[in-house]
Structure 1
């Protein structure tokens, strides 16, 4: 018996279905999730951010409202009852300020100052770094000499001089932090942009006579973002530390708007008398915040630059 099936109707071998293309965002999140320390840091950071954003509703007391402070409740131990029928879970400071409320509002100020100063410093540093790398010549020489002079002085010294000159206040401390931070971003962006400027896609954009601003901001800048993100994350923690240091020294925020650094400073003189909670709990909150940011930054460095993975 002969096979009557035409050759043209012979079934072709089935091909395997193509695997779905994983998005870069999912790939980055999967690599980030490989580190338990990074996830723990991210969890702590999210809790801190939520507390800072909801401080007016979570806090039992407004520590900035002098009418709510009672000197008779000063330096009470953790767990002591308040005159209003509540409980001072973390005790009070020498002004009768509820430490838990002070920490919540202190986190609010620390994160706001750190984020605002970083955003402004990044904007300034990116503009100067891209200009130095793209134009080169005397523009590059002038900008980088200014950066070298800026980085030759310790950041805390420059911030101390500025705050002693400008006085206290949130806006003034943000200005001081921007002044000491922008040079880091300018140098980071310049080094990345110098590498990208030699690549073919930049030469092609120049051949097509595209506007210079488009070449710089649409082609160079996006490829400079990975190292910039890592540096910015680290510098947020640095800015928070600087603000706490300045406030601890009495040059940051006024006593009526205490940050974590000022809360620590208020209780420093009472440590030897056993009233540890005035400085201890704000110090723990500050340490946890900085540690969480550094853990996230360390993992982001590994994710955005696979060559540095351990």
Structure 2
């Protein structure tokens, strides 16, 4: 029997919107769905951290030095239960991880968004106008990509100092070139299409051709790159904080929590570093799995 829609007039694949088909294709992989659920849950927990965390681990009035180094599941002298234990300053590890996750997502998403905007502007300008403009912009991109990202970030933070805003600036500086090169490659192909030639023959202004015709057709690959770069930004921020050049000690950070507990691992106080490390690993893994699934759907040739 022929597959018909609810209206009974058209096949289902003609009634469904492209977005609905995209969602159905994405949900066909249970691993991708599980990864997306994990990402949504982690973002929700981080956003609600001030309300669901048992304490504000960076409010000194809520800390007690007598509660330091409590093991997971141990109670304080007042009878308060610490599910994941406490660190050397008496901070509840569960609360500190919620707050650290919030900062990680904030730094990763904001830095990626700013770098994406800069990269799109640079890449689309280079591809559309070409000539010397393309040469100058791409030489900067090549110079940027020739150095390791961690090295550039370390140099910038050595000059700028510690701080969340400084970390975001450093991450933007090491990410924008990826987006510029990606969108330039797609824009060079789209620029040769007939619809671009038709728009030019109609004497449409350049900004209209770019924003209404060229840019929308170059965005799908950037969705994949941006998703994966969020995970990269989170891991890079954690690395910088672990090295002591990222966020200051007064700010919550998963990398900083791992660094604080690193010296206590050999003495048996594993939970101070291990639990934040596992949460960081889960976050990066889930985001990368979502990005891999988006890559397969937006460019099926890569899947083969």
Common topology (TM > 0.5):
yes
List structure 1 segments (4+ residues) > 3 angstroms apart after TM superposition: none
CA RMSD between the two structures = 1.0
Q: Per-residue CA shift, 1:243-287, capped at 9, x if unaligned?
A: 000000011111111200000000000010011000000001000
Local SS of the residue matching 2:279: helix
* CA distance in structure 2 between the aligned counterparts of 1:309 and 1:176, rounded to whole angstroms: 33
C-alpha distance 55-83 of structure 1, shift in aligned 2 (>3 A): farther
* CA distance in structure 2 between the aligned counterparts of 1:82 and 1:197, rounded to whole angstroms: 66
Q: Which residue of 2 aligns with 1:71?
A: 65
How far is 1:86 from its partner?
A: 2.2
Q: Which residue of 2 aligns with 1:161?
A: 155
In the alignment of these two chains, the number of paired residues is: 295
Alignment of 1:198-277 (within 5 A): 198-277=192-271
Local SS of the residue matching 2:15: coil
Q: Which residue of 2 aligns with 1:115?
A: 109
How far is 1:64 from its partner?
A: 1.5
How far is 1:83 from its partner?
A: 4.4
Local SS of the residue matching 2:266: coil
TM-score (structure 2 length as normaliser): 0.95
Q: Per-residue CA shift, 1:207-229, capped at 9, x if unaligned?
A: 01111001011111101111000
How far is 1:21 from its partner?
A: 2.0
Work out which structure has the larger RCO, using CA pairs closer than 8 Å and 6 or more positions apart in sequence. 1
Residue 98 in structure 1 maps to residue 92 in structure 2: yes
Q: Which residue of 1 aligns with 2:10?
A: 18
How far is 1:26 from its partner?
A: 0.5
* CA distance in structure 2 between the aligned counterparts of 1:66 and 1:180, rounded to whole angstroms: 35
Residue 33 in structure 1 maps to residue 27 in structure 2: yes
Q: Which residue of 2 aligns with 1:183?
A: 177
Q: Which residue of 1 aligns with 2:143?
A: 149
* CA distance in structure 1 between the aligned counterparts of 2:53 and 2:77, rounded to whole angstroms: 16
Question: 5+ residue gaps in structure 2?
Answer: 1-7
* CA distance in structure 2 between the aligned counterparts of 1:278 and 1:240, rounded to whole angstroms: 19
* CA distance in structure 1 between the aligned counterparts of 2:303 and 2:156, rounded to whole angstroms: 39
Local SS of the residue matching 1:272: helix
Question: 5+ residue gaps in structure 1?
Answer: 1-15
* CA distance in structure 1 between the aligned counterparts of 2:269 and 2:301, rounded to whole angstroms: 49
